[in-house]
A and B are shown apart, each in its own frame.
Chain A
Amino acid sequence: MALDLYAEDLVANYEHPHNKKTMENSDSSSHEYNTTCGDDITIYIKVKDGKVDNISFDGSGCAISVGTASKLTDAIKGKSIEDIEKLGFDFIVDLIGIDPGPARAKCASISLKALKHAVFIYEHKKPDKETERL
């Protein structure tokens, strides 16, 4: 439901996003574009000892995509890339506290998709099917 979807916390993350900057010396990055909303998100990661040491994002989009990207970058710091590989849409639902519904699912998952791509690129692996479906 839209009203819950636009919880104060998410809207605040949209208005004042955390970790929103490009990263010059990232170890990996990935850009995703969502044609329906025109959401445009790039995720940058720095990896140390198999863990995400630093993460940022840049881009623009709707409140759902930008707000989630902001919250995602906060939540991911310190996570192992092994764990990130396994993250699915449930992680987003937990993160924003609500299932955004089919019309906005792509907006909510775009940053996770970019993050997972960045991790797979870092590992020289091909993204799995679940990531591509996000």
Chain B
Amino acid sequence: MAKFDVDSIKEDFPILKTEKEGKQLVYLDSAATSQKPNQVIDAISDYYRTYNANIHRGIYEIAEKATEAYTDSKKEMADFIGADSYEEIVYVRNTTEAINLVALSWGERNIEEGDHILISEMEHHSNIVPWVLLSKRKKAKLDYIKVGDDYKLDEQSLEEGLEKQPKIVAITHASNVLGTINDVKAITEKAHKQGSVVLVDGAQSAPHMPVNVSDIGCDFYALSGHKMLGPTGIGALYGKSDILNSMPPIIGGGDMIRTVEFYACTWNDIPWKFEAGTSNIEGGIGMRPAISYLKSIGMQNVFEHEVKLTKYAMKSLSEIDNVTVYGPEPDNDCHAGVVSFAIKGVHPHDIASIFDNYNVAIRAGHHCAMPLVTQILNQSAVARMSFYIYNDEKDIDKAVEAINEVKRIFKIK
């Protein structure tokens, strides 16, 4: 693809042609899950139609083909995020499972009573709850980096957190509510100086910007396939090979072992050690064309496109009275893809319902970041639009139209 051409991208996404009462779907909820291009849908159906077989075991041709396709997908993924090899890519269900795997395996072995765990106030529940559970089990201390008035991580609070020499620092790369992009490379450098292990929640970065885990230097990186054009039920945990090698498995069964005796077993190599039982084969196979699609556009182009849309949306919304936008100014590449907002006097769920009437899909709620929304933004819920490669300014104009309708219904100036 030479130039970023939204119209031709839209062509690849059949769902965007669907209509409700003559209105075409405008999908502004890609932070929740992305839509899927034909290439992904076809790859999955092709697998089931022509080479469905279990992986790793069969000696026959279609089984070999399935095994190769699944492994190739990991190779693509490793290349996509800058890992050294596919052995560093564990396929899991989603970001949530990836983070829980780290907490249950690495955390269980390395966290002791009185140790500190450092996360931030802008985390998604999936990067809070596993650490709450772990810290309770181990009587460890869970500390939070504060979010400042500029909707960014507070530098001083970060320094204070790191001074306590946390065993692990787990931080989101990009916030699913504020759109804030954190400088995870700088945070990783500082954290490593304190001897901390670093996990980056990449659920909102892998789909939307160039990511290179080797450059960031983090020890773990978690992502969800369904947010980056892939199918649901597949996600990845990247871990540096030495650290993955040192970790015990948390689920036992087929495929994750090398030998099994009645009272003893030895583990398979990474990454298979962490993938017990039959894998989500269609999911892995569906990831490959998803990644190829993004690569063919180029992640820098994806990012610039979203920054452009974010700027346009923030400007459009800031011109409407009684609308509040939450998130940093999208200037210095510190905000992308997500615009959370509120309309004075209207509950966000009512906003989303009225948007639905225009067949414009947005999200309303606490966005699985209750501490951030309720305690930092002081809202019970906010409305959020989020963008991807198939969105354009016209989609945002439709959202603005819907906002005006909300204001008309609720008689707001």
CB distance from A83 to the nearest CB of B (A): 31
Most buried by A among B347, B354, B366: B347
CB distance from B407 to the nearest CB of A (A): 12
Q: Is there a chain A Cβ closer than 8 Å to B243's Cβ? A: no
User: A62 to chain B: which residues have CB within 8 Å?
Assistant: 347-350
Q: Which of A1, A2, A37 contacts B347 (CB 8 A)?
A: A37
Are B409 and A11 in contact (CB-based, < 8 A)? yes
- Count chain A residues whose beta carbon lies closer than 8 angstroms to a beta carbon of B: 18
Q: CB-defined interface of A61-87 with B at 8 Å, one 1/0 digit per residue?
A: 111100000000000000000000000
User: B353 to chain A: which residues have CB within 8 Å?
Assistant: 2, 5-6, 64, 103-104
Are B354 and A6 in contact (CB-based, < 8 A)? yes
User: B348 to chain A: which residues have CB within 8 Å?
Assistant: 62
Q: CB-defined interface of B381-413 with A at 8 Å, one 1/0 digit per residue?
A: 100000000000000000000000000011100
User: A1 to chain B: which residues have CB within 8 Å?
Assistant: 357
Q: Which of A2, A5, A38, A63 contacts B410 (CB 8 A)?
A: A63
User: A2 to chain B: which residues have CB within 8 Å?
Assistant: 353-354, 356-357
Q: How far is the CA of A36 from the CA of B350 in the complex (A)?
A: 12
Closest to B356 in A: A2
Q: How far is the CA of A70 from the CA of B129 in the complex (A)?
A: 37
Are B347 and A3 in contact (CB-based, < 8 A)? no
Q: Which of A36, A60, A63, A107 contacts B365 (CB 8 A)?
A: A36
Q: Is there a chain A Cβ closer than 8 Å to B318's Cβ? A: no
CB distance from A102 to the nearest CB of B (A): 12
CB distance from B363 to the nearest CB of A (A): 11
Are A15 and B357 in contact (CB-based, < 8 A)? no
Q: Is there a chain A Cβ closer than 8 Å to B380's Cβ? A: yes
Instruction: Say yes or no: A61-B354 contact (C-beta < 8 A), given A15-B410, A36-B365.
Output: no
User: B410 to chain A: which residues have CB within 8 Å?
Assistant: 11, 15, 63
Instruction: Say yes or no: A64-B350 contact (C-beta < 8 A), given A11-B409, A37-B381.
Output: yes
Instruction: Say yes or no: A104-B409 contact (C-beta < 8 A), given A2-B357, A37-B381.
Output: no
- Count chain B residues whose beta carbon lies closer than 8 angstroms to a beta carbon of A: 16
Q: How far is the CA of A62 from the CA of B409 in the complex (A)?
A: 14
CB distance from A111 to the nearest CB of B (A): 15
Q: How far is the CA of A7 from the CA of B312 in the complex (A)?
A: 32
CB distance from B332 to the nearest CB of A (A): 34
Q: CB-defined interface of B317-360 with A at 8 Å, one 1/0 digit per residue?
A: 00000000000000000000000000000111110011011000
Q: How far is the CA of A97 from the CA of B272 in the complex (A)?
A: 57
Are A38 and B381 in contact (CB-based, < 8 A)? yes
Are B350 and A63 in contact (CB-based, < 8 A)? yes
User: A107 to chain B: which residues have CB within 8 Å?
Assistant: 349
Q: How far is the CA of A3 from the CA of B402 in the complex (A)?
A: 11
Q: CB-defined interface of A94-122 with B at 8 Å, one 1/0 digit per residue?
A: 00000000011001000000000000000
Are B357 and A3 in contact (CB-based, < 8 A)? yes
Q: How far is the CA of A17 from the CA of B350 in the complex (A)?
A: 17
User: A6 to chain B: which residues have CB within 8 Å?
Assistant: 350, 353-354, 409
Closest to A40 in B: B380
CB distance from B54 to the nearest CB of A (A): 37
Q: How far is the CA of A62 from the CA of B16 in the complex (A)?
A: 29
Are A3 and B354 in contact (CB-based, < 8 A)? yes
Q: How far is the CA of A104 from the CA of B356 in the complex (A)?
A: 12
User: A11 to chain B: which residues have CB within 8 Å?
Assistant: 409-411
Q: How far is the CA of A122 from the CA of B104 in the complex (A)?
A: 47
User: A64 to chain B: which residues have CB within 8 Å?
Assistant: 349-350, 353
Q: How far is the CA of A66 from the CA of B381 in the complex (A)?
A: 16
Are B380 and A38 in contact (CB-based, < 8 A)? yes
Closest to A12 in B: B411
Q: Which of B349, B409, B411 contacts A37 (CB 8 A)?
A: B349
User: A15 to chain B: which residues have CB within 8 Å?
Assistant: 410-411
Closest to A38 in B: B380
Closest to B351 in A: A62
Chain A residues 1 to 50 lying within 8 A of chain B, measured CB to CB, are 1-3, 5-6, 11, 15, 36-38
Q: Which of A3, A60, A104 contacts B349 (CB 8 A)?
A: A104
Q: How far is the CA of A38 from the CA of B370 in the complex (A)?
A: 11
The 10 closest A-B pairs by CB, nearest first: A62-B347, A38-B380, A2-B357, A2-B353, A62-B349, A63-B350, A37-B349, A6-B409, A62-B350, A3-B357
**Which A residues contact B (CB, under 8 angstroms)?**
1-3, 5-6, 11, 15, 36-38, 60-64, 103-104, 107
Q: A15-B410, A62-B350 are in contact. List 15 more A-B contacts (CB 8 A).
A: A2-B354, A2-B357, A3-B357, A3-B409, A5-B353, A6-B350, A6-B354, A15-B411, A37-B365, A38-B366, A38-B381, A62-B347, A63-B350, A103-B353, A103-B356
Q: List 13 A-B contacts (CB under 8 A).
A: A6-B350, A11-B409, A11-B410, A11-B411, A36-B349, A36-B365, A37-B347, A38-B380, A38-B381, A62-B347, A103-B356, A104-B349, A107-B349
**Which B residues contact A (CB, under 8 angstroms)?**
346-350, 353-354, 356-357, 365-366, 380-381, 409-411
